[in-house]
Amino acid sequence: MSLRPFRDIKRRKTKVISVGDVKVGGDNPISVQSMTNTLTTDIKSTINQINNIAAEGADIVRVSCPDQGSTFALKEIIKHVSVPIVADIHFHYKRAIEAAENGAKCLRINPGNIGDEKKIREVVSSAKNNNCSIRVGVNAGSLEKDILEKYKEPCPEALVESALRNIKILEDQDFFNFKISVKSSDVFLSIAAYRQLSRVCDYPLHLGITEAGSFISGSVKSSIGLGSLLMDGIGDTIRISLSDDPQKEARIGNEILKSLSLRNRGVKIISCPSCARQAFPVINTVKILEDKLSHIKTPMTLSIIGCVVNGPGEAAMTDIGITGGGKGNNMLYLSGIQSEKVLTEDIILKVINEVEKKAKEIENSK
CATH number, domain at 271? 3.30.413.10
Evaluate if residue 4 carries a pLDDT over 60.
no
Q: What gap in Å lies between CA 290 and CA 26, rounded to an integer? A: 32
Mean pLDDT of 293-307: 93
Co-location of 177 and 220 in the same domain: yes
Phi, psi dihedral angles at 137 (to 5 degrees): -110, 90
Co-location of 318 and 213 in the same domain: no
Q: What gap in Å lies between CA 50 and CA 36, rounded to an integer? A: 7
Co-location of 288 and 202 in the same domain: no
Has residue 332 been placed in a domain? yes
Give per-residue pLDDT as tens, 98-127.
999 999 999 998 877 777 788 889 999 999
State whether the Cα torsion 161-24-260-219 is positive or negative: negative
Has residue 317 been placed in a domain? yes
pLDDT at residue 271, rounded to an integer? 95
Has residue 7 been placed in a domain? no
Mapped onto helix, strand or coil, the DSSP state of residue 135 is strand
Co-location of 162 and 88 in the same domain: yes
Co-location of 27 and 70 in the same domain: yes
* Arithmetic mean of pLDDT over the chain: 93
Give per-residue pLDDT as tens, 64-88.
999 999 999 999 999 999 999 999 9
Residue 349: which domain range? 267-365
Last residue of a domain, one of 225, 259, 293: 259
Has residue 5 been placed in a domain? no
Number of alpha helices (DSSP H) and beta strands (DSSP E) in the chain: 13, 15
Q: How far is CA 95 from CA 35, 40, 207, 309, in A?
A: 18, 13, 25, 60
Give per-residue pLDDT as tens, 147-161.
999 999 999 999 999
Contacts of 52 (CB under 8 A, 6+ apart): 247
Cα–Cα nearest to 17, from 164, 170, 192: 170
Co-location of 283 and 239 in the same domain: no
pLDDT at residue 3, rounded to an integer? 44
Q: How far is CA 178 from CA 68, 203, 277, 285, 358, in A?
A: 24, 7, 54, 44, 39
Evaluate if residue 12 carries a pLDDT over 70.
yes
pLDDT at residue 279, rounded to an integer? 93
Give per-residue pLDDT as tens, 152-202.
999 999 999 999 999 999 999 999 999 999 999 999 999 999 999 999 999
DSSP state of 294: T
Has residue 336 been placed in a domain? yes
Co-location of 220 and 292 in the same domain: no
Co-location of 233 and 302 in the same domain: no
Q: How far is CA 292 from CA 263, 272, 353, in A?
A: 21, 19, 11
Has residue 9 been placed in a domain? no
Q: What gap in Å lies between CA 74 and CA 72, rounded to an integer? A: 5
Co-location of 71 and 161 in the same domain: yes
Question: Per-residue confidence at 7, pLDDT binned at 50, 70, 90?
Answer: low
Mean pLDDT of 244-249: 96
Last residue of a domain, one of 236, 259, 282: 259
Co-location of 254 and 274 in the same domain: no
Has residue 232 been placed in a domain? yes
Report the first-to-last Cα separation within the chain, whole angstroms.
16
Question: Per-residue confidence at 366, pLDDT binned at 50, 70, 90?
Answer: confident
Question: Per-residue confidence at 238, pLDDT binned at 50, 70, 90?
Answer: very high
CATH number, domain at 184? 3.20.20.20
Evaluate if residue 53 carries a pLDDT over 50.
yes
Has residue 225 been placed in a domain? yes
Co-location of 254 and 276 in the same domain: no
The domain total for the chain is 2
Last residue of a domain, one of 235, 259, 283: 259
Mapped onto helix, strand or coil, the DSSP state of residue 304 is strand
Co-location of 240 and 275 in the same domain: no
